[in-house]
Structure 1
Amino acid sequence: MRTRPLKVALLGCGVVGSEVARIMTTHADDLTARIGAPVELAGVAVRRPSRVREGIDPALITTDATALLKRGDIDIAIEVIGGIEPARTLITTAFEHGISVVSANKALLAQDGAALHAAAEQHGLDLYYEAAVAGAIPLVRPMRESLAGDKINRVMGIVNGTTNFILDKMDSTGAGYQEALDEATALGYAEADPTADVEGYDAAAKAAILAGIAFHTRVRLDDVYREGMTEVSASDFASAKRMGCTIKLLAILERAADGESVTARVHPAMIPLTHPLASVREAYNAVFVEAEAAGRLMFYGPGAGGSPTASAVLGDLVAVCRNKLAEATGPGESAYTQLPVSTMGDVVTRYHISLDVADKPGVLAQVATTFAEHGVSIDTVRQQGKDGEASLVVVTHRAPDAALSGTVEALRKLDTVRGVASIMRVEGE
């Protein structure tokens, strides 16, 4: 066994970083046995050095992350700062100084993953990022390595614990959106500013990363269609229950039937209660992968939090350290297909549309004609009326999203339609 330790620079020491440091310290002997060499925390870069960090030697703390990376003895950098800068510059600096990188930075990888992979390859180094998607759930490495010989056609999953907690509470207790959000905030599941979660930005970044891995093509954050879940209402859940469904915020990545393009999207959707994702409760994550040879696989577990995310970081650390000892590197970016990313208008699925209409004869026929004129076939219709007003719920057969958008635009122009209360896709059937 090698006696000189592999030295690690920890960039960031918040909830995840402090847990990484704790595990590295308390499990040092186990990590040494698994890696084949000692691994040593050589420095911790932070913004606020005066803050007390229990279990971390104050002598390791520095505010100069760049100097830490340039000092000449660092083998691996763990980046848990988050955001675009200074994380991007620090990772690039690490590569320039012969340092492999483990990152949990979904936003940066979704935006600049191709450039970071290119820099790692140029210097013959590793870039691992299991913790960037779905916390402790082993997902990135199985898709990059275990399924490398297979063809993935579809990935559908719940990749944000905050939104799943909120929607689960709305479903199980009948709470409204704001009430469920307030509970999530009180329990620490939601940030003081929950925008990144509830508007789908967090899930979209993860979707971009997973799509790139699944389809061996470059998918950027801007390529991912995104809708938040702030408009989901109690009446939407009531409609879903009548259909034998529930509502989840889903990341859906698909290869076109002809194999010539891919799509990536994040939005709320109704899914049947019989689908495995429907039973994912609280703040848990789950991802459903459909591959040609392996069939359907489901990955499930805690998707966030200090300990679960640190578990994924340490798993990557062990792999990168082993590669370092073997003078090898793990898999890098695989983008050989260079498939185009289609727009949302090309997506084909079913829809649930709720309309507020006048309660008088001929309204249903007028609405049905509008759907037919835009090539959208109706599956079921439910109408309720009282005192001259009515609600009309239409569930369609599968149709292109562009056709549905045209239908809704035309419906809004009808004198008998007073408003489009909600539009929701129906998935997982």
Structure 2
Amino acid sequence: MSKPLRVGLAGLGTVGASVVRLLVENRESLARRGGRAIELVRVASRSFKPDVGIGGASFDTDLNSLDTADVDVVVELIGGEGDARKLVETAIAGGRHVVTANKALLAGCGNELFSAAREADVALGYEASVAGGIPIVNALQKGLAANRLEALAGIVNGTSNYILTAMEEDGQDFGNALAEAQRLGYAEADPTFDVEGIDAAQKLAILAALAFDTGIDAAGVHVEGISNVDVEDIRYARELGFSIKHLGIARRQEDGIEARVHPALVPESELLAKVSGVTNAVMVHGDAVGSTLHTGPGAGGMPTASAVVADLVELARGTLPVPAAAHAQLPSLGLAGVVCPHYLKIPAIDQPGVFAEVADILSRHRISIEAVIQRPQAIRSGEEPWVPIIILTNEVAENEVEVAVAELGKLAGVSGSIARIRVVDLSAMMLGP
């Protein structure tokens, strides 16, 4: 058998400890699958964790201890961008391969790191950076390589999906659902990255770059979170035949890439509408294969470690690729070309004529109405009674609905902010621009 693949591991957090466990417990099967032994020789972490058995590997609190000739591949699991970037750049400069689970690092400086890896002729594996339990990076790089990929869409943040599921299935409000997610370890103490869509946007930027053979452009992703979705929106959506999901969507257009993360009404008949809890799912459409669905656990120690170790097995085989150069940096289009139906929740004062004014504004902006829900009972908001007018529009351009909603908000008969959520027909979207 060939000489072992010698691994230097940075980070002994939840994922790092799980990687150690897999390398130790599955040592023999990993060697068979990789064609040679995969040996953990060095570990660097801020502190030693006696409950994590690192076997015969040496331990150090200094990350520079991995910059040594007896390490073939550095596994970066410390997170963040500063120290992680320095560690990865040092490894590449030293001719060592890199495996990382760090989506923030790749979203921030992935293009530069890929370029450095190409120049040094080393591999950079990042399967674990997106939807840990789903081998979606491998699918895009290899399994779907024969296809011109046109679109991808999915649920790529388990925290947000868990919260929306709890709101839909248990009737919890956003705050209680978030608190439960935090108690169960699905959400951080500061959940901003998850619930405001930043985490999903970083992942989508990485997937879009792979799918469309372009550079990573996280800044070009339109981002909206779920913190403004309330349980009433979810109830009305269900009444209209939809489920609200937090989607990442990327599509190839003639003049660039449309990439967006936002809540969406998804028809209940769609497979993604049925994805619940912390599960992730990604749909990909290619010209040859059609639409494929990839689903599995999106986060957690063992699912993410599974993806990390899978990259190590590929590296041991010699099949983990050196990053290819992007064909071109395609421009990001934002929402300019988005045309879709919209859900509107308008807080109307309970008086005659308000709906007529609403309908008139929509008509002037060429927005037709598909469905309306208007409850007869008044809801107390402070001292003023109001009733929600729920409108499902037909397809409308993004700029038209923005202007119309701004006008609606100025009506004397409208009290409070108007909720607006896009409707996404995934089946139709996957078949054309």
Task: Please give the TM-score of this superposition, normalised by the length of structure 2.
Answer: 0.93
AA of the residue aligned to 2:214: T
Q: 2:360 matched to 1:369?
A: yes
Residue of structure 2 in register with 1:425 after alignment? 422
Residue of structure 1 in register with 2:11 after alignment? 12
Indicate conservation of the 8 Å contact 2:198/2:223, yes or no. yes
State which of 240, 246, 268 in structure 1 corresponds to 2:237.
Answer: 240
RMSD, aligned CA:
1.7
Change (3 A) 1:94 1:157: same
Shift, 1:329, TM fit: 5.9
Unaligned runs of 5+ in 2: 379-384, 427-433
AA of the residue aligned to 1:68: L
AA of the residue aligned to 1:267: H
Shift, 1:346, TM fit: 2.7
Unaligned runs of 5+ in 1: none
Residue of structure 1 in register with 2:429 after alignment? none
State which of 320, 324, 348 in structure 2 corresponds to 1:357.
Answer: 348
Residue of structure 2 in register with 1:195 after alignment? 192
The C-alpha deviation readout for 1:90-116, integer Å capped at 9, x for no partner, is: 101001111011110011111111101
Residue of structure 1 in register with 2:291 after alignment? 296
Indicate conservation of the 8 Å contact 1:114/1:333, yes or no. no
Distance 2:82 2:229 in 1: 34
Q: 2:41 matched to 1:46?
A: no
> Alignment partner of 2:69: what SS?
coil
Greater Cα shift, 228-237 or 415-424? 415-424
Greater Cα shift, 288-297 or 389-398? 389-398
Shift, 1:347, TM fit: 1.8
AA of the residue aligned to 1:19: S
AA of the residue aligned to 1:368: A
Residue of structure 2 in register with 1:154 after alignment? 151
Distance 2:387 2:24 in 1: 65
State which of 405, 408, 416 in structure 2 corresponds to 1:408.
Answer: 405
Indicate conservation of the 8 Å contact 1:219/1:341, yes or no. no
In the TM superposition, 1:301-312 aligns within 5 A as 301-312=296-307
In the TM superposition, 1:202-241 aligns within 5 A as 202-241=199-238
> Alignment partner of 2:82: what SS?
coil
Indicate conservation of the 8 Å contact 1:76/1:99, yes or no. yes
The C-alpha deviation readout for 1:150-196, integer Å capped at 9, x for no partner, is: 11111111111111111111101111111111111111111122111
Change (3 A) 1:19 1:356: same
> Alignment partner of 2:359: what SS?
helix
Q: 2:258 matched to 1:263?
A: yes
Residue of structure 2 in register with 1:108 after alignment? 105
Q: 2:269 matched to 1:274?
A: yes
The C-alpha deviation readout for 1:4-49, integer Å capped at 9, x for no partner, is: 3221100111111111111111222222222222221111110123
Change (3 A) 1:14 1:329: closer
The C-alpha deviation readout for 1:168-225, integer Å capped at 9, x for no partner, is: 1110111111111111111111112211111111111101101111111123221111
Distance 1:118 1:53 in 2: 38
Q: 2:75 matched to 1:84?
A: no
Residue of structure 2 in register with 1:384 after alignment? 375
> Alignment partner of 2:189: what SS?
coil
Residue of structure 1 in register with 2:34 after alignment? 35
Distance 1:331 1:361 in 2: 67
Indicate conservation of the 8 Å contact 2:405/2:418, yes or no. no
Indicate conservation of the 8 Å contact 1:249/1:266, yes or no. yes
Change (3 A) 1:141 1:165: same
The C-alpha deviation readout for 1:405-427, integer Å capped at 9, x for no partner, is: 11111111122222234111111
Change (3 A) 1:335 1:371: farther
> Alignment partner of 1:418: what SS?
coil
Q: 2:312 matched to 1:321?
A: no
Indicate conservation of the 8 Å contact 1:103/1:131, yes or no. yes
The C-alpha deviation readout for 1:285-340, integer Å capped at 9, x for no partner, is: 111112221111000111111111111111111111222xxxx7615245214321
Change (3 A) 1:65 1:127: same
Shift, 1:125, TM fit: 0.7
Indicate conservation of the 8 Å contact 1:125/1:329, yes or no. no
Distance 2:53 2:268 in 1: 46
Distance 2:142 2:238 in 1: 39
AA of the residue aligned to 1:380: A
Indicate conservation of the 8 Å contact 2:122/2:322, yes or no. no
Residue of structure 1 in register with 2:66 after alignment? 68
Greater Cα shift, 407-416 or 197-206? 407-416
Q: 2:125 matched to 1:128?
A: yes
Shift, 1:359, TM fit: 3.4
The C-alpha deviation readout for 1:43-89, integer Å capped at 9, x for no partner, is: 1110123x3242124862111112322x2121111111111110111
Distance 1:60 1:211 in 2: 39
Distance 1:188 1:128 in 2: 27
Shift, 1:231, TM fit: 1.4
Greater Cα shift, 53-62 or 120-129? 53-62
Change (3 A) 1:79 1:298: same
The C-alpha deviation readout for 1:376-410, integer Å capped at 9, x for no partner, is: 33322332345663321111112222221111111
> Alignment partner of 1:269: what SS?
strand
Indicate conservation of the 8 Å contact 2:343/2:391, yes or no. yes
State which of 175, 180, 184 in structure 2 corresponds to 1:178.
Answer: 175
AA of the residue aligned to 2:180: E
AA of the residue aligned to 1:63: T
Determine what percentage of the aligned residue pairs are the same residue.
41
